[in-house]
A and B are shown apart, each in its own frame.
Chain A
Amino acid sequence: MHATPGHFMLEPAYDPNSGTGTGRDAIGLGRASGPGLDVRHGTLLTLEDINVSFDGFKALRDLTLYIGVGELRCIIGPNGAGKTTLMDVITGKTRPDSGQAFFGESLDLTEMSEVQIAQAGIGRKFQKPTVFEALSVFENLELAQNADKSVWASLRARLSGEQRERIEDVLTTIKLDASRQRPAGLLSHGQKQFLEIGMLLVQDPQLLLLDEPVAGMTDAETEFTAELFKGLAGKHSLMVVEHDMGFVGSIADHVTVLHQGHVLAEGSLEQVQADERVIEVYLGR
C-alpha cells in the first residue's frame, strides 16, 4: 500500500510492462491483456503442486497443470472433482494453501488480486451464467470491453468508432444483434451463456477460462460454440470445463481428467477414454 501525490489509491494495478509502460497506478488502471507478457517457454499458465482445502476437505491435491500459448485444453471430471475450484485459484478467488501459480513466466497469480489478474489478461465465464441483468446486452459488452477501467476513465468514457464496431461484430457473432437493447436479465439461459462468451470476446484476454459453457444450450448452439472456440484457439489459450463428451471431442486436442482434486490422466480424448483409471472413475459410480 503506497500513495503518490494527488491520488489516493487502494492498490497498484498490475502492469506487466512496468518500467516501459505508463507506470500509472491509480485505482483500476492497467491493460486488460499484457502485450509484454513473458511466455518465453511457450507456457502461458503454470500450476505446480497446488493444494486447496476447505475446512480440512481437500478440494485440490498436488495439482500440476501447464497450459501452452494458443492451446485449447478441456478439463473433464466428475462433479466435485475440483474443476471450478481450479478456476477459482487461477482467477484469485481462492488462495491455494500451497503451490505455485504463474501466468507467463513472471506473474505470480497467488500474489495478485482478482482485479489485477483480470487486467493481466485472464478472463472467466462462470458455471452459472452471470451477466449484468439490469443493463442492456450492448451495455454488458461495453463494460466488459478491453479499455481503461479506472474511475476517472469511466467518468469521461465515450465509445470510439472502433470500439463500437468491435461490439457490433461480437453482437453479430453471438447472434444477439436483435436483442442489443434488451435488459440482459430478460434473456434466455442460452442467450445469457452467449452474452457471457461475448463479454469474454470483447474483453480479449490471453487466457479464457470457461466453466461449462454449453450447459443448457441446444445441439445447434453447442455446435456453433465449438466452432467459435476452435476459431479462438491459436490467438488465445482456452481452458474449457465441460461434461458433454461430444462437445469435448469436437474441440479438444488435449484433455485433462480431474478426480478428487488430482490430475488422473492427460492426453487426447481417445487416450484418456481408454485409460483404465478413468473408466473406473466414470463407470464405477
Chain B
Amino acid sequence: MNQPLALTAAQKAGPRLTLAALGAVLAILVALPLLSLLPADNPLQVSAYTLTLVGKILCYAIVALALDLVWGYAGLLSLGHGLFFALGGYAMGMYLMRQTAGDGLPAFMGFLAWTELPWYWYGTSSFLWSMCLVVLAPGLLALVFGFFAFRSRIKGVYFSIMTQALTFAGMLLFFRNETGFGGNNGFTGFSTLLGFGITAPGTRAVLFLATVALLVISLALGWGLARSKFGRVLTALRDAENRLMFCGYDPRGYKLFVWVLSAVLCGLAGALYVPQVGIINPSEMAPTQSIEAAVWVALGGRGTLIGPLLGAGIVNGMKSWFTVAFPEYWLFFLGALFIIVTLFLPKGVIGLLRRKGEQ
C-alpha cells in the first residue's frame, strides 16, 4: 500500500528535477554568448556558427511555445504560425534595410525603378517604430483573422486549413516584387543594427541574450497563464466548448486573447531571428514551415510548457545535421517522425519522460 507514497515522492522530485535541469540549461545559454567573445585560439571559444545555430533554434522554440499556447491549451491547431513569425521578421528587416540604405532607398527598390518609399515603409528608419511594427503587424492580422474566424465558430480542421491558406496567401503576396518587400529574395545584406555592426561578436552576443530573455519571458508568461483561471478556461474550451458556454463564458474573447498573444510572441521571435540569421524571405511563410512547427510541438508534448521547447530543439538539431548529411531526405524523415509521434507518443517526449519518472 505504499504505492501512493512512492507516487507523491516522484511527483515531488519531478518539479525539483525539472527546475534543476531548467537552471542548468539557462546557465549554459547565458554562458554561450560570453564564451563566443573569447579570442579565437581559446579552446573554450564558441564559434559564430554555433551561436547563430543555437540562437536560431531558440527563436523556433519561442514559436513552438506560442503555438502550444493556442494548440495545446486552447485546442486551436494553427498551421499558419510561420506567417506571424515572418511578419515580425520582415518588420525588423525593414529597419535593417533602411540602416543599410542610409538616406537612400533600399537597393531592391532601385531595381524596380521606384523613386519614393511606399507609405508602409514610412518611419521604418526609426528603431522604435519598427519594434512597434514587429508587434502590430502580426498582432493586428491575428486580431482581424481571429475575430472573424471565432465569431463564425470556425473550429477544428477548418480552422487549421484557413490558417494554412492564410500563410500561403501571405507567401504569394510577398513573392511579388510589386508588394515592396524584395520579392523572392526578401531582405539580406544587412550592415548595422542601431549603428553596431550586425556581424560583430558583441552584437551577436547581445542578440543571443535578447533571444534567451524573450524565451524566459514567454515561458514565464505561459506558466502564469497555465496556472491562472484563464488557463483552466482554455483547457475547458478545448475539451467541451459547448459546456463552457452554458456555464456563461464567451469562448470568443478567450480564444482571441490567446491567439493574438501567440501571434505577437511569434512576431517577436521572428524579429530576433532575422538579424542573427541575416536573411528573411517569403519561404518562411511556406506552408511546410508552419506544419513543421506543429511537428515540434507534437513531438515535444503539447499542453505542456517545456515539451514544445524540447521538440523544437530536437527536430532542429536533427535537421541541421540531416541537411548536411542527407539533405534530400529531410522532409521524408520529418513526415515519418510525425507519424511515429502520433502513433506511439501521443503525449510527446515529455510524456515519455514523465512515465519514466513515475516508474
Chain A positions within 8 Å of B, measured between CB atoms, are 8-11, 13, 26-28, 30, 32, 91, 93, 114-115, 118-119, 123-124, 126, 130-135, 139, 142-144, 149-151, 154-157, 199, 203
A150: B residues at CB distance < 8 A? 253
Chain B contact surface mostly: helix
Q: Is B42 an interface residue, CB under 8 A from the partner?
A: no
Task: For B246, give its contact among A28, A114, A132, A154 (CB under 8 Å).
Answer: A114
Give the size category of B's interface with A.
20 to 34
- Interface segment out of the listed B33-41, B164-172, B173-181, B230-238: B230-238
Q: Is the CB of B246 within 8 A of A149?
A: no
Name the one of A10, A123, A143 contacting B232, with C-beta atoms under 8 angstroms: A143
Contact (Cβ within 8 A) A132 B248: no
Q: Which chain A residues border B230 with CB–CB below 8 Å? A: 151, 154-155, 157
Instruction: Please name 21 pairs of A and B residues whose Cβ atoms are closer than 8 Å in the assembled complex, sorted by A.
Output: A10-B252, A26-B253, A28-B253, A115-B248, A115-B250, A118-B245, A123-B246, A124-B246, A132-B239, A132-B240, A132-B243, A143-B232, A149-B248, A149-B249, A149-B250, A150-B253, A151-B230, A151-B257, A154-B228, A155-B228, A157-B228
Asked if A151 and B254 make an inter-chain contact with CB atoms under 8 angstroms apart, the answer reads yes
Residue from the set B150, B232, B249, B250 with the largest chain A CB neighbour count within 10 Å: B250
Complex interface: chain B residues within 8 A of A30 (CB): 248
The listed residue with most B CB atoms (<10 A of its CB), out of A32, A93, A131, A154, is A154
Question: Residue B5 at the A interface, CB < 8 A?
Answer: no
The distance in angstroms between the C-alpha atoms of A203 and B252, with both chains bound, is: 20
Kindly list chain B residues whose C-beta atoms are within 8 Å of the C-beta of A155. Answer: 225, 228-230
Chain A positions within 8 Å of B233 at CB level: 143, 154
Interface pair A134/B253, CB less than 8 Å apart? no
Closest Cβ of chain B to A127, distance in Å, is 12
Identify B229's interface contact among A9, A123, A126, A142, CB under 8 A.
A142
Q: Which of A8, A26, A118, A156 is the one whose CB lies under 8 Å from B247?
A: A118
On whether the beta carbons of A132 and B147 are closer than 8 Å, the reply is no
By a CB distance below 8 angstroms, the chain A residues around B232 are: 132, 135, 139, 142-143
Q: Please, which residue of chain A has its CB at the minimum distance from the CB of B234? A: A154
Contacts of B342 in A (CB 8 A): none
Among B18-41, those with CB < 8 Å from A are none
Known: A28-B253, A115-B250, A157-B229. 17 other contacts (CB 8 A): A8-B147, A10-B147, A10-B252, A11-B250, A27-B250, A30-B248, A118-B246, A118-B248, A123-B246, A132-B236, A132-B239, A132-B240, A135-B232, A142-B232, A151-B253, A155-B229, A199-B247
Which residues from A are CB-within-8-Å of B151? 10
Rounded to whole Å, the gap between the CB of A257 and the closest CB of chain B is 26
Which residue of chain A has the shortest Cβ distance to B143 in the bound complex?
A8
Which of B295-352 touch A at CB < 8 Å? none
A130 near B243: Cβ-Cβ < 8 Å: yes
A115: chain B residues within 8 A (beta carbon)? 245, 248-250
A243 and B240 CA atoms in complex are apart in Å by 26
Assuming the A-B contacts A10-B147, A10-B151, A10-B253, are A135 and B236 also in contact, with contact meaning beta carbons closer than 8 angstroms in the complex? yes
Q: How far is the CA of A142 from the CA of B230 in the complex (A)?
A: 12
A27 with B253: in contact, given A10-B151, A133-B239, A154-B233 (CB under 8 Å)? Answer: yes
Q: Determine whether the beta carbon of A28 is less than 8 Å from that of B243.
A: no
Convert B81-113 into 0s and 1s, putting 1 for each residue whose CB lies closer than 8 angstroms to a CB of A.
000000000000000000000000000000000
Q: Which residues of B contact A156 (CB under 8 A)?
A: 228
B126 sits at the interface (CB 8 A): no
In the bound complex, do residue B248 and residue A154 qualify as a contact, i.e. CB atoms below 8 Å apart? no
Pair A130/B254 contact, Cβ less than 8 Å: no
Q: How far is the CA of A135 from the CA of B247 in the complex (A)?
A: 15
B236 and chain A: residue at smallest CB distance: A132
- Rounded to whole angstroms, the CA-CA distance of A149 and B236 in the bound complex is 13
B50 at the interface (CB under 8 A from A): no
Instruction: Report whether A27 and B248 are in contact in the complex, using a CB–CB cutoff of 8 Å.
Output: no
Q: Is the CB of B239 within 8 A of A126?
A: no
Q: Within 8 Å CB of B247, what residues of A? A: 118, 143-144, 149, 199, 203
- A260 to chain B minimum Cβ distance, whole angstroms, is 26
CB-CB contacts below 8 Å: B116-149 with A: 143, 147
